[in-house]
Amino acid sequence: MQRLSGLDASFLYLETRSQLMHVIGILEIDPSTVPGGYTFTKLRDELERRIAGMPAFRRKLDNSLLNIDHPVWIEDDDFDIQRHVHRVAVPAPGGEAEMADLCGHLAGQTLDRGKPLWELWVIEGMADGKVAAMLRIHHAGVDGVTSAELLAQMCTLTPEAPDLDPDRVQETAGGSSRTTMAVTGAVNYLIQRPIALARLIPDTVRVPIGWLQRSRADTAMPAPFQAPRTRFNAPISPHRSIALTQLSLDDIKRVKNRFGVKINDVVLAMTGGALRSYLIEHDELPEQPLVGMVPVSVHGADESALVTGGTNKVTGMFTLLPTDLADPVERVETAAELARKSKAHHADIDANMLRAWAQFAPGTTMATMMKVYGDKRLSLRHPPIFNALISNVAGPDFPMYFLGARVTAVYPLGPIFHGLGLNITVFSADGHLNVGILSCTDQAPDVWAIARAFDEELKQLLEACD
């Protein structure tokens, strides 16, 4: 039995029928490399074999009315691969747009909390002979880094099936004990939390004071609730729009080297340019720059005395996006300057503070408040916290094989929220920068226009390099 951290559990409490808290990975694979030939049954059987050495895929939630703390993970003794791996055909003509539409429909479905919180959809019938694999995992069990690690466990450097790690095969989340769950939960809630709160408050009070001082010196990152309103800052429905594009990593590096910035700066500049183009097309571009929230991993950072463990080890950094600038080169240079300012400010804040406060998340109360927030459309009653969530995850720069099939693209997709309906995630792998864009269909039915704008942004930057 393994108790969820407050931040992990918060993704359960935040979930409603419209606000779905799972992360998605869409893999395009070449089935011709599978040893002995590809069949769906063979792929599913190989995944079942590997899951024996992947304990995160075998655990499920457990809770009790007597448990006043967060839920726990336990081993699913009735695990059945057929409840998690499904087969479907893409509609004709079987292009990437049809595949993305199908994935958008699947992305709007809830995961069954009575079994391990993941599923894999194998999508066949694509016009180019490839197969797509859509993996959905609840955010309570993964963040950007851990999802990349799980992907690495499902992929190999060669098509041949690997041997399983015997230590991982023996690893288990354990069984359920209602007594232990209730007693340890009461100790955490009634004894450890008050002590943690007394330690946390002084550090937290210093954050707004430091923010104000930095604002006066113009060295602060944007504060929450100061972003201009866009079509993405509205209540969301369960309907999802997905768009994908793949860029050359060598081209991105060429831009990076030419202007003396980082890859993430180029990504932020292209994001700002793409959103500028999209909003101009709709005659909705605000004069004020948009605000992006960039998740920052704290894996490997020193654990705070206030919080340890958990899967989600992230915090968030706010940065302005240069949507107010028409020149693409100026956008790159400005994005780099704005990101440096935000990083310097973010480094002054305890990386574990978000996780520490999340320990106090009240499950039932938080879930009820989130439902009311969505039903009453309260996201329209206050300024947007930010405009878009932008995540950049580095993957392996070499070929990968997913269950024997060569991976030709990996598109990550994160969740969206009421009032925060745009998520752009990029994943670099094998010489490509894969851009996954997810929004609510009610807000952006033409989300492919943003993907095309990314292609145009890179084209303009390459021309500027010449």
The set of catalytic residues is 139
Structure tokens at 150: 């799980």
Nearest of 411, 441, 449 to residue 244 by alpha carbon:
411
Residue whose token pair is 């990152």: 221
| Phi, psi (deg, nearest 5) at residue 83 | -85, -5
CA 142 to CA 150: how far, in whole Å?
9
Q: Can you give the three-state secondary structure of 201-248, one letter per residue?
A: HHHHHHHHHHHHHHHHCCCCCCCCCCCCCCCCCCCCCCCEEEEEEEEE
Half-sphere exposure of 435 (CA within 13 A, CB side): 27
Residue 140 near residue 21, CB atoms below 8 Å: yes
Segments in 31-84 forming alpha helices (H): 40-51
Cα-based distances in Å from 424 to 237, 302, 364, 374:
18, 28, 30, 22
Give the CA angle between residues 338, 211, 293 to the nearest 5°: 45
Provide the 3-class DSSP secondary structure of residue 153: helix
Residue 90 near residue 23, CB atoms below 8 Å: no
Long-range Cβ contact pairs of 343-347 (< 8 A, separation 24 or more): 343/317, 344/219, 345/211, 345/214, 345/219, 345/220, 345/221, 346/221, 346/296, 346/315, 346/317
Ramachandran area for residue 137 (φ above 0: left; ψ -120 to 50: alpha; else beta): beta
Instruction: Report the DSSP pairing between strands 85-89 and 405-413.
Output: unpaired
Nearest of 3, 127, 69 to residue 364 by alpha carbon:
69
Segments in 248-295 forming alpha helices (H): 249-259, 263-281
The length of the chain is 466
Residue 419 near residue 379, CB atoms below 8 Å: yes
